Amino acid sequence: MAIDFSFGPEVEEVRQRVRHFMQTEVKPAESDDLWEDGNRRKLVETIIMLRQKAQQSGVWLPHMPREWGGMGLGPTAVAAVSSEAARTRLGAFVLNCQAPDEGNMHTLLHFGTDEQKQRFLKPLCQGTARSCFAMTEPEVAGSDPTLIQTHAVADGDDYVINGHKWFISGANGAHFAILIARTNADADVPQERNSAFIVDSKSPGWTIVRDIETMSGGHNHCEIRIENLRVPKQNLLGRLGGGHELGQVRLGPARLAHCMRWLGQIELALEMMIDRASKRFSHGSLLSEKQGIQWLIADSGMELYAAKLMVLHAAYKIENKLPYKIEVSYCKHHVANTLWRVIDRAVQVHGALGYSTDTPLSKMLTQARWARFADGADEIHQMRIAQLLIQAYGESGSVKRATGDLPL
């Protein structure tokens, strides 16, 4: 029997170490006032202090190889660590595995030249720089990158870039951006229209217009104007026309990394739901004794269980260099929707308290909403899943290959 769902002792030890670090260091430092206006300095100092402790405790940079100062963990171990970190608000940031830096590190490691790695990847790994990833534009559907209008034109030793981006997470304070721009509008294959560039954010022509106010406030998701921005040719990342493939390589594991963090949030919401239901009394019994509430708890447990299996299996496939596209789409759709439903149910069980800002649920709910369309909207994943299912059936007369290729 080759199926074994336990982690090896070394991964379990790391998971426990991260859990302990989150409980004893990060959680106690996360006072509510850290996020109040005027407390930015305190927030930054807290992060710096916690990051030093993370380095001393050997829980720094879980997803990167040891030669880059990381813990050298594979995707399944990173799943374990990321979901532990996500049980706190600052966890991923403290371990230096937060979006979008985590995805950018993978991208630079995979596609960067030695010079690009030294200049841009090294400071990211050391935690002395931050970055952003600039692809989405207000004028065209972000779901279809072949429509990107921001364009780069070769001029001497540079590319000159003009365009408009928005919802660029972490842009304020980022030292550089990985920017996707159109380099050949007439490419035979539409996916070869775009290329990726590393843009120094101090370059003239890179202007942050605003930090977009969202339904959960301003969180450094910025609108950016790009006007006659000159980028040296050596800052092309990957091959000319390789922007789409770079995005795919980046987004597969990055989507799964989101799912890993969401697992921690789902678990937390379910635990809060059970805790509240076990203490609140109404109409002669505790809420936890009412069948209607038990169904909410049971449905959440079933969905979380399926979400964990999906994440572990997709991570296993990536780790073992097996095809993982459809598994990541299943995961992204299922986990994002489970996140939304379980937090919503937890709000329901908390009643007015759940709607207040006295518990973390209100922030968790508004944050959860974007999970269903960012990094691939639900419908795009459904479209891809359906295409791959139809293809598998057409080629083999069976959907087995496109449902995890499991031995069932």
The site for ligand FAD, by CB under 6 A, has a size of 21
> Rule CB under 6 A: which of 75-104 touch ligand FAD?
100
Residue 161 bridge partners (DSSP)? 152, 229
Stretch that binds ligand FAD, among 109-117, 227-235, 242-250, 369-377 (CB under 6 A): 369-377
Of 46, 82, 96, 136, which lies in the binding site for ligand FAD, with binding defined by CB under 6 A?
A: 136
DSSP characters for 199-248?
EETTSTTEEEEEEEEETTEEEEEEEEEEEEEEEEGGGEESSTT-HHHHHH
Q: Is 135 in the site for ligand FAD (CB under 6 A)?
A: yes
CA-nearest of 295, 302, 311 to 263 is 311
Q: Which stretch binds ligand FAD (CB under 6 A): 30-38, 245-253, 254-262, 375-383?
A: 375-383
Strands 194-200 and 236-237: antiparallel
Q: Confirm if 47 and 30 have CB atoms less than 8 A apart.
A: no
Region binding ligand FAD by CB under 6 A among candidate stretches 50-58, 89-97, 126-134, 245-253: 126-134
CA nearest neighbour of 259 among 321, 323, 339: 339
Q: Is there binding between residue 109 and ligand FAD (CB under 6 A)?
A: no
> Binding of ligand FAD at residue 143 (CB under 6 A)?
yes
Cβ(276)–Cβ(349) below 8 Å: yes
Selected range binding ligand FAD among 1-9, 234-242, 344-352, 370-378, rule: CB under 6 A: 370-378
Q: Using CA of residue 20, residue 104, residue 341, residue 385, what is the dihedral sign?
A: negative
Contact flag: residue 402 with ligand FAD (CB under 6 A):
no
Structure-token pair, residue 79: 């799943």
Binding mask 297-336 for ligand FAD (x = CB under 6 A): ----------------------------------------
Q: Which is nearer to ligand FAD, 91 or 145 (CB)?
A: 145
Residue 169 sits in the site that holds ligand FAD (CB under 6 A): yes
393 touching ligand FAD, by CB under 6 A: no
- Is the Cβ of residue 288 or residue 362 nearer to ligand FAD in the bound state? 362
Q: Choose one: 9-17, 82-90, 343-351, 371-379; the region binding ligand FAD (CB under 6 A).
A: 371-379
H helix runs in 38-126, sequence order: 40-56, 75-85, 91-94, 101-111, 114-116, 122-126
Residue 356 is given by DSSP the state S
The verdict on 377 binding ligand FAD (CB under 6 A) reads yes
Pick between residue 50 and residue 224 the one whose CB is nearest to ligand FAD.
224
- Give the helix/strand (H/E) hosting 307: helix 291-319
CA dist 238 and 192 (Å) reads: 12
* Cα 359 to chain centroid, rounded: 23
Question: DSSP state, 8?
Answer: P
- Residue 82 or 131: the one with the smaller Cβ distance to ligand FAD is 131
CB of 386 to ligand FAD, least distance (A): 11
User: Binding of ligand FAD at residue 194 (CB under 6 A)?
Assistant: no
Query: Are β-strands 206-214 and 131-134 bridged in parallel, bridged antiparallel, or unpaired?
Result: unpaired
User: Nearest distance from residue 172's CB to ligand FAD, in Å?
Assistant: 12
Query: Which residues, numbered 205-244, are part of the site for ligand FAD (CB under 6 A)?
Result: 221
Residues that bind ligand FAD (CB under 6 A): 100, 132-136, 141-143, 167-169, 221, 370, 373-375, 377, 379-380, 383
